[in-house]
Structure formats: structure tokens, C-alpha cells
Amino acid sequence: GQSLEQPSEVTAVEGAIVQINCTYQTSGFYGLSWYQQHDGGAPTFLSYNALDGLEETGRFSSFLSRSDSYGYLLLQELQMKDSASYFCAVRDQAGTALIFGKGTTLSVSS
């Protein structure tokens, strides 16, 4: 089976940078994904890492280290609208279920 660990809450101010960590345990490994969910909304895809290193998409970046079974989501130039829950998710092989962590609630204040 798979298990994922991420902090339950993170707080930051507008304009700051925040990093949300995720460690995982899987029998195999087929990529680490990140999803964002606003209160009352549906989760939406943010990023996917299959190989080690940093993937950058605008203000958001995601990092993976397969040897450490670790990844993080980096959010820069935080805005109030970034207040949401962020979930990391893994598959242990292609064509299998996507398993999510318990989520990190990010609160951005002015």
C-alpha cells in the first residue's frame, strides 16, 4: 500500500514564499502529483513530477527526490486566493489508483 505525510496547516502572509513538504511510502513509484482544493470546491491539478528535480509553473514549483521519497510544493509571491488545501498524491505503478495525502491547509493573510 501507499502512505503520504504532509503538514496539516501552514500560515503565511501575502507576498511571501511557502514550502509544503510531502514524504511518501509506496511499494513502487509512478510520479508525485499536487492538487489544490478551495473550500467547497473540487480538487484541481497543479503539477506532476516523475523524475528528480524542480518543475516550475508560474508562481508554483514542485520538487521531487526519489531517493529520499520526498517532494515539496513551493508557492511564491503568495496571494490571498492561494488560501486553500494542497494535497500530494502518488501512484505506485502506471494504471493504478491515485492515492492522496491528508492535505495541508494554507492560510494567507494580508
Partner 1 sequence: GAGVSQSPSNKVTEKGKDVELRCDPISGHTALYWYRQRLGQGLEFLIYFQGNSAPDKSGLPSDRFSAERTGESVSTLTIQRTQQEDSAVYLCASSATGDTEAFFGQGTRLTVV
91 in contact with partner 1 (CB under 8 A):
yes
Task: Give Rg (Cα) of the chain.
Answer: 13
C-beta of 44: minimal distance to partner 1 in Å? 7
Part in contact with partner 1 (CB under 8 A); list of ranges 17-25, 64-72, 75-83, 92-100: 92-100
Half-sphere exposure of 56 (CA within 13 A, CB side): 3
Number of residues that bind partner 1 (CB under 8 A): 22
Q: Measure the CA–CA gap between 101 and 110, rounded to whole angstroms.
A: 28
Query: What gap in Å lies between CA 19 and CA 92, rounded to an integer?
Result: 24
**Of 22, 24, 32, 33, which lies in the binding site for partner 1, with binding defined by CB under 8 A?**
33
> Which amino acid is residue 75, in one-letter code?
L
Please select the residue that binds partner 1; options are 45, 54, 79, 80, rule is CB under 8 A: 45
Please give the residues from 2 up to 31 whose contact with partner 1 meets the rule CB under 8 A: 30-31
User: For 81, phi and psi rounded to 5 degrees?
Assistant: -70, -10
- Which residue ranges make up the site for partner 1 (CB under 8 A)? 30-31, 33, 35, 41-45, 48, 87, 91, 94-103
